[in-house]
Chains A and B, each alone.
Chain A
Amino acid sequence: MQEYLTTLLGGAEGLALEVGYLLGMLAFGAIVVFGFILPVAGITSWLERRVWARMQSRIGPNRVGPFGFLQWLADGLKNLLKEDVIPTAVDPRLFRIAPYVVVVGFVAAFVAVPFGANLIIADLNIGILYVTAATSLVVVGILIAGWSSNNKWSMLGGIRSATQIVSYEIPAGLGIFPVVLLSGTLSMQGIIEAQGWQPWNWHMFHSPFALAAFLLFFVSALAEGNRTPFDLPEAESELVAGFATEYSGMRMLLFFLAEWGNLYLIGALMATLYMGGWQVPPFTENAVLLGVAQFLSIFLKSCFWVFVAMWIRATLPRVRVDQLMTLCWKYLVPIGLVCVLGTAVTMVVAPEGILGLRFAMFGLVVLVIANFFRRVVFHLRRAKGMGWTIAG
């Protein structure tokens, strides 16, 4: 995007160039926010409800539009039109600001999220560091929301969120380290370019340590995004709605917008860091076709992880606070350190990477997935044989 803007503003100089640059970047940002992030977050909300319903043998929203697809628009409109209630006992200024801080933190991260080889708002030199830094604003927003609501449930939710996010930033960072070691850069495009389009050339199959770091990063990212099984900050059964208890209408929806959009962000990070990002086989010379293929490549990989997160939410129970901390400090952090060290050692022993090891890791994952589907088919057959009906 930056190169494109530079050519577009080729004739301009001095102040005109800088203002043009600023306006151009703002325009790109607006396109990404309104044309991509908001629809994706909205559609995710609909999809999530449909997917859970399916997994829990229910029907889910199916009234608005085909398969209830327009439900997210209806919900958004409804919440926009609702009264913006500010309870009297809250701290009104902070109460109003909090949702915006959350949304700014989450939207700002998309500046460095790639959508294709040339489709990225700004390929920052510090790409992945920037994304982690920007998302750390979210926790400040949640804390403000929790405190300013003047409500013990909100307060507890905010505090839980703070402890959780601060703790899980460490394993998440350790899960990113191996990738940075392997690519030798923090730039998102640089990380993707260091991988190939073939699955065994992805960073996740580099060594057993990289594979472990990949899973470690996913778990930590779920915890940082306040997703089940780590959704303690808004645990409905304990804290009413956690930090969002006092919020209503669009302000409440903004929190959930950030949560759903954050799912795509997690997916995009997983795809970028470990799954080759937008890499596609060079099948055509046509730049537009190639661009579309690249976008689909990273989009579908991201959507896969969005689906896995929904799947986890539909099936796993919530962990307790002490279990949350035990998992982080006693398991994930040591595993993360071993992953970083192991990746470094592997790189020193074999700077070119070991192709056999890559194939072995790839084969292992394929075997696990194949076995999973075998079990699913087995159980479906057994259930049918015993006369149970599978809700469809």
Chain B
Amino acid sequence: MGVGPSSMENLSLSVLTFYALAGTAVVGAAGVAFSRNIIYSALSLMVSFLGVAGLYVILGADFIAGVQVLLYVGGVLVLTLFAVMLTQGIRDVEVSNRSVGRIPAIVIVSGTAVVMYEAVSKAGWADKALAMDESSTYAVGNALLSDYILPFEVASIVLLAVLVGAVVLTRKEVVAEDESS
């Protein structure tokens, strides 16, 4: 953790760590895309999430890294695994119609590529190592409750709606049998 006064030389350990973590994330993502077994895909997703969390740590965003692992590995991934394990035919997924996949896929991928290129070219990259001593938690908390209070509240309302919706959907209808008998 918190590497002290690190000089961003060509062969410093932080650079090596960055490539290792980026490699982990990319290999994990490739595993998700190319694996024939959904369980393996889901577990590759975990590897990818952990790699991304490591990248967040290198960027000095320790809070985001912790939340990434807690929510994505501990929550989203577990629920995904949970759902996948209850489905039939986990090994060798048969896609019945392969012909329609091509063109939409190309459209989506190229669209995403354009958006990502824009994001990368406009981002303000730090040109030196970031200090890890200060926690990013305060900054995140203050930003969420001051400048971004509206998105924050909207997100919480959306989550509440999802919760209530899930309850409504899964609730069994109570049939009033007692009255007839």
Please determine whether chains A and B interact with each other in the same assembly. yes
Interface residues, chain A, with chain B CB atoms under 8 Å away = 2, 6, 13-15, 17-19, 21-22, 25, 91, 94, 122, 124-126, 129-130, 132-134, 136-137, 139-140, 143-144, 146-147, 155, 158-159, 162-163, 165-166, 169, 185-187
User: In the complex, which of the residues A129, A140, A165 contacts B70, with contact meaning CB atoms closer than 8 Å?
Assistant: A129
Q: Which residues of A contact B70 (CB under 8 A)?
A: 129, 132-133, 136
CA distance A163 to B85 in the complex (A): 13
Q: Is the CB of A162 within 8 A of B82?
A: yes
Known: A25-B1, A137-B73, A187-B135. A166 touches B66 (CB 8 A): no
Q: Which residues of B contact A162 (CB under 8 A)?
A: 78-79, 81-82
Write 24 A-B pairs (CB below 8 A) sorted by A numbering: A15-B11, A15-B12, A18-B12, A91-B39, A122-B2, A125-B63, A125-B132, A125-B136, A126-B135, A126-B137, A129-B66, A133-B70, A133-B74, A137-B69, A137-B73, A140-B73, A140-B77, A143-B78, A143-B85, A144-B43, A165-B78, A185-B135, A186-B135, A186-B137
Q: Is the CB of B81 within 8 A of A125?
A: no
Residue B89 at the A interface, CB < 8 A?
no
User: In the complex, which of the residues B1, B13, B43, B132 contacts A15, with contact meaning CB atoms closer than 8 Å?
Assistant: B13
Q: Which residues of B contact A137 (CB under 8 A)?
A: 69, 73-74
Known: A18-B14, A133-B73, A158-B85. A147 touches B39 (CB 8 A): yes
Q: Which residues of A contact B74 (CB under 8 A)?
A: 132-133, 136-137, 139, 165-166, 169
User: In the complex, which of the residues B4, B46, B77, B132 contacts A21, with contact meaning CB atoms closer than 8 Å?
Assistant: B4
CA distance A185 to B134 in the complex (A): 12
CB-based closest 3 A-B pairs: A136-B74, A125-B135, A18-B13
Q: Is the CB of A166 within 8 A of B75?
A: yes
Q: Which residues of B contact A13 (CB under 8 A)?
A: 7
CA distance A186 to B9 in the complex (A): 32
Interface residues, chain B, with chain A CB atoms under 8 Å away = 1-7, 9, 11-14, 39, 43, 46, 62-63, 65-67, 69-70, 73-75, 77-79, 81-82, 85-86, 132, 134-137
Known: A126-B137, A186-B135. A133 touches B13 (CB 8 A): no
Q: Which residues of B contact A130 (CB under 8 A)?
A: 66
Name, among B4, B79, B86, B134, the residue most crowded by chain A CB atoms within 10 Å (CB to CB): B4
Q: Is the CB of A18 within 8 A of B6?
A: yes
| Distance to closest chain A CB from B170 (angstroms) | 12
CA distance A188 to B4 in the complex (A): 21
Q: Which residues of A contact B67 (CB under 8 A)?
A: 129, 133
Secondary structure of the A contact surface, majority rule: helix
Q: Is the CB of B39 within 8 A of A94?
A: yes
Using CB atoms, name the residue of chain A closest to B65: A126
CA distance A389 to B120 in the complex (A): 77
| Distance to closest chain B CB from A348 (angstroms) | 15
Q: Is the CB of A147 within 8 A of B137?
A: no
| Distance to closest chain A CB from B47 (angstroms) | 11
| Distance to closest chain A CB from B55 (angstroms) | 15
CA distance A139 to B67 in the complex (A): 16
CA distance A355 to B87 in the complex (A): 56
Q: Is the CB of B69 within 8 A of A134?
A: yes
Using CB atoms, name the residue of chain A closest to B2: A2
Q: Is the CB of A140 within 8 A of B135?
A: no
Known: A126-B62, A186-B135. A133 touches B79 (CB 8 A): no
Q: Is the CB of B81 within 8 A of A143?
A: yes
Q: Which residues of A contact B63 (CB under 8 A)?
A: 125-126, 129, 186
Q: Which residues of B contact A122 (CB under 8 A)?
A: 1-2
Q: Given known contacts A17-B4, A140-B81, what 6 new A-B pairs fall within 8 Å (CB)?
A: A13-B7, A125-B62, A133-B70, A136-B78, A162-B81, A186-B137
Q: Which residues of A contact B5 (CB under 8 A)?
A: 17
| Distance to closest chain A CB from B22 (angstroms) | 18
Known: A18-B12, A94-B39, A144-B43. A133 touches B69 (CB 8 A): yes
Using CB atoms, name the residue of chain A closest to B3: A18
| Distance to closest chain A CB from B21 (angstroms) | 14
Using CB atoms, name the residue of chain B closest to A132: B70
Using CB atoms, name the residue of chain B closest to A111: B1
CA distance A19 to B81 in the complex (A): 37
Q: Which residues of A contact B3 (CB under 8 A)?
A: 18, 21
CA distance A13 to B73 in the complex (A): 36
CA distance A162 to B76 in the complex (A): 11
Q: Is the CB of B9 within 8 A of A14?
A: yes
Q: Which residues of B contact A144 (CB under 8 A)?
A: 43, 81
Q: Which residues of B contact A169 (CB under 8 A)?
A: 74-75
Q: Is the CB of B85 within 8 A of A14?
A: no
User: In the complex, which of the residues B12, B14, B78, B135 contacts A166, with contact meaning CB atoms closer than 8 Å?
Assistant: B78
User: In the complex, which of the residues A14, A124, A147, A158 contacts B62, with contact meaning CB atoms closer than 8 Å?
Assistant: A124
| Distance to closest chain B CB from A5 (angstroms) | 9
